Structures are given as C-alpha cells and as structure tokens.
Chain A
Amino acid sequence: MKYIFISIFSLLLFSGCNKDPQPDAIVEIVDSCSNSSIVVSDIKGRKKQDGFMQAQVTGSNLTSSYFKVEYKVVWLDENDFTIDTILSNWTDMPAYPNQPFYINVTSPNAKAESFRLYLKKEGKIICNKQLN
C-alpha cells in the first residue's frame, strides 16, 4: 500500500514538472477547396510556444502540367480584426505536375488567433476559407 502511494505521488510530481513543450494544434480541417486542377486536402493552424501562429496548407496539382498558384493568408486577432502586415500580400509558389504542394507560413506577431486563406490559379479564386 505504501509503495502504491509513493508511486502515485512520484507520478504526480513528475507530471507536474513536464510543462507541455509541444505547441497545440488548434485547428485542423480537411475541406473540399478544389477545381479540376487543384485540390486542397488539409489546412492546419497552431499556436507556437513563442506565441506566433503557424499555418500549413496541403494541396495537390492534379494535372500533368507545371503551374504557379498564388496564395494569401490574412491574419486575424482574437476579435477577428485583420492584422496589417506585408506578410499578407499575394505570393506565388510552384505546383509541380501530379505532386503535392505545401504552404507553410507564420503570423506576423503573437496577436494572431486565426487566419483566412485565399488560393487562386490564373486569377481565379479556388479557396477562401477562414479557420477559427
């Protein structure tokens, strides 16, 4: 009986020391943002330990041609107000034939609590999703 108490006490003690070092994934969706040439299979967001938010988007080029996709991430604070930053300008990235592509971006400051993703190809919006 004494050993059981000691074991439980030790477990409680050591679990208290372990301050979760892993950032928490706060949002994760699999959505149907797609057209005939692109499909977005996953949009994730997490708050990192330094307070900055990180977003990752996974998509695929379904065609056998190379093209560029353009994306923009608008960062929002806890009250859903946009955060003014040059990081929210349109950016292009390569989408190689029949291959996945990844967009990995970090928020401009620690006030970001959610984000809105815009994805377009040849000037046409394919994805316009907000993650809360």
Chain B
Amino acid sequence: MQQTIKLVASIVLVGLIFSGCGVATKNIDIHNDKEASAVMGLDYRDFQGAAQTMVQSLVSSGAVNKPGGGRYVLVVSRIINDTMQHIDTDQLVKKIRVSLLRSGKVVVTTAVGANGAEDKMAMNSRKDLRNHEEFNQKTVAAKGQMIAPDLSLSGKIIQRNITVDRSTQQVEYYFQMSLTDINTGLAFWEDEKVIGKRGSNASAAW
C-alpha cells in the first residue's frame, strides 16, 4: 500500500514538474502585440510597419495619381532579399499591393512579372484554349486584350550586422522601394524605412 502511494506521488510530482516546463501555446493578438518583446530577426510587426510607411508615403506623394484621371497599371518587379533570413518578399509586397488596389488609383497586373507571369493561368488559358475545339471560342480571351503595365514596383531588403561590444550586437534592416514609370524609366517615387534592433550576441538574426 505504501509502495503504491509512493508510486502515485512520484507520478504526480513528475507530472507537475514537466507541466511547469512547457510554454502554453496561444494565439497572438496581432492588433496589440505588446506582450512579446522584439526579436532580432524580422517578424510580422516589422513587415506591417514597413508596409504602412511605404503606403503612406506613396499615397501622400501623389505618384499614383494619373494625370487626367483613371488608374495606373502596376507590375511588381523584383524585391531582392539581401538579408540572412529566409523571407518571402510577398510578406511586404502583398500588403502594399492590397492598399494600392484599395486606393482606387492603381490596378495590378498578374499577367507579367520579372520572372514570368505571376498568374500563369492568365497567359496559359489563352494559349491552350485558343482554337481548342472543346471550347466555345467566343468565351476564350481574344488577342490583344491584355493591358501592359505603366508602373513597376521594385525594392530591396538589406541587413547589416554590427558588433557593439562582446555581448551586444546591432542589426539594421533597410526596406527600400522604388516606383518606376516604365515608359520613361524614371523613378516617380522612392522611399526607405530603417528598422534597428540591438540585443544579445546570443540571439541569431537569421
């Protein structure tokens, strides 16, 4: 009997110890995430802040106001990730695209891109279905209907690591973006947002 009690007590004790070690998983409140301290790498808060700065700069610059009214057609060119982190640059670009689209001043083409069509179906459905006897040709997109882009959005994210002292490092991130008029090759708008972080050398910034 005494052995049984000891066994149960041991199991309970071990259970209590291990339950204390685990960090409970919970959803982040992305609208008010002050609880967690900053991280040395880039997180969603940094992308949100960078996108907000870029959109505010773009709409206030007037660069997306087409003379005579109407909307510009925008293509997203290359956004170079020159950091040590595996970043999908769409984390930044998508927020900017959505905001520009909602501004009513810009439409984005997905039929062309720096690495081919972003939405390959837009082009393939024409090539594959044209003259295909199984498809009603009146419903197939006609030739010469696609709209070429007026503006190109390009950019770069740069990372610089600096050793402050033996225990501290500083990481600087530069978000740089340009909006180029494709017709003239002139940049209508450019901006940069810098995010700096300082922390322990033990933290990895990748």
A contact residues, range: 10 to 19
B37 to chain A: closest CB distance in Å? Answer: 16
Once the chains are docked, how many angstroms separate the CA of A23 from the CA of B21? 62
Q: Are B102 and A89 neighbours in the complex by a CB distance under 8 Å?
A: no
Contacts of A108 in B (CB 8 A): 55, 59, 99, 102-103
**How many chain B residues touch A (Cβ–Cβ < 8 Å)?**
19
Quick one: which of A81-132 are within 8 Å of B by CB? 84-87, 89-91, 104-111
Return chain B residues, CB-CB under 8 Å to A61.
none
* Nearest B-chain residue to A105, judged by Cβ: B56
Contact residues of B: prevailing secondary structure: helix
B56: contacting residue among A50, A90, A106, A109, CB under 8 A: A106
Q: Is the interface of A mostly helix, strand, loop or mixed?
A: loop
Contact for B59 among A89, A90, A91, A107, CB less than 8 A: A107
Contacts of B55 in A (CB 8 A): 86-87, 108
Given A91-B52, A105-B56, A108-B55, the answer on whether A85 and B62 have CB atoms closer than 8 Å is no
Whether A110 and B56, one on each chain, are in contact in the complex, defined by CB atoms closer than 8 angstroms, is no
* Cβ of B46 to closest chain A Cβ, rounded Å: 13
Residue of B31, B51, B60 with most chain A CB atoms under a 10 A cut-off:
B60
Task: Pull 11 A–B residue pairs with CB atoms less than 8 Å apart, ordered by A.
Answer: A50-B105, A84-B102, A86-B48, A86-B52, A86-B55, A86-B99, A87-B52, A87-B55, A105-B56, A108-B102, A109-B105
Using CB atoms and an 8 Å cutoff, list the residues of chain A in contact with chain B: 50, 52, 54, 84-87, 89-91, 104-111
